[in-house]
Amino acid sequence: MAYVLLALVLVGVWLFCLFDILATDERDVRYLPKVGWLLVTLLFMLAGAVLWLLLGRPRAADRTASFGRADDRVEETGPQAPRPPAPKGPDDDPDFLRDLDRRIHGED
């Protein structure tokens, strides 16, 4: 039973690495091209998965920094650009509440 569980964990890690390689952007992959990592992971199942996790996968800092790259955006914004205001709910909008009060009281 322990061997089956170990085999399932190893296959799960291997599949995770394969899908992670496919989902990772080509520009974020380290040391080898994306196709190279895919071949290494396919041919050398456990060793390829471990190598991908240690060497090829983008670091956490790289992933967060590249999440909203300027070249991926439709509209160019700098780091100093102000953020748009957060959407308000209807209960926070005084104009909506006045209009609703007028409708309820029949002043329309």
User: Per-residue pLDDT for 61 more than 70?
Assistant: no
What is the gyration radius of the CA atoms in the chain, in angstroms?
A: 25
Structural domain harbouring 6: 1-67
Report pTM: 0.55
Average pLDDT, the chain: 81
Within a domain: 96 = no
Measure the CA–CA gap between 53 and 65, rounded to whole angstroms.
Answer: 19
Q: Is residue 88 part of a domain?
A: no
**Residue range 67-89, pLDDT digits in tens:** 555 444 445 555 676 777 776 77
Residue 77 falls inside a structural domain: no
The C-alpha atoms of residue 51 and residue 28 are separated, in whole angstroms, by 16
State which of 5-14, 21-30, 56-65, 97-106 shows the largest mean pLDDT.
Answer: 5-14
* Residue 9, domain member (yes or no): yes
Q: Supply the pLDDT for residue 6.
A: 95
Give me the number of domains the chain comprises: 1
- Is 86 part of any domain? no
Question: Would you say 76 and 49 are in contact if contact means Cβ atoms under 8 Å apart?
Answer: no
The answer to the question of residue 42 being in a domain is yes
CA 36, 18, 7, 47: dihedral to nearest 10 degrees?
A: 20
CA distances from 62 to 5, 25, 46 (A): 33, 11, 25
